[in-house]
Amino acid sequence: MTDNPKTDTSSNTQKDPDEWVSGNEPMTGAQRSYLKTLSEQAHQPEVYADDLSKAEASKRIDEFKKSLELE
């Protein structure tokens, strides 16, 4: 274990997007781009929406990654 929290990955836990403080903010540009790409790869462009929150976008990205086996 290291004293630097930035390099210590042993204690990092992934927080549920529903619990994010900034989860209700609009999705980021990176999320928008990645979600658009994944929805096209999955042949489901109708699932992409431009007005998603950060938390909603994160959930959809996770769903696409699982369905496309990208994890």
- Spatial contact of 58 and 31, defined as CB atoms under 8 Å apart: yes
pTM given for the model: 0.68
Distance (Å, rounded) from C-alpha 2 to C-alpha 7? 7
Quick one: pLDDT at residue 11?
A: 46
Q: Mean pLDDT of all residues in the chain?
A: 80
CA dihedral 29, 35, 41, 47 (to 10 degrees): -130
Question: Tens digits of per-residue pLDDT, 4-38?
Answer: 555 555 544 577 777 777 668 899 999 999 999 99
Question: Tens digits of per-residue pLDDT, 54-64?
Answer: 999 999 999 88
Percent of the chain with pLDDT over 90: 35
Domain ranges of the chain: 23-67
Which burial class, exposed, middle or buried, applies to 17 when counting CB atoms under 10 A from its CB (0-12, 13-18, 19+)?
middle
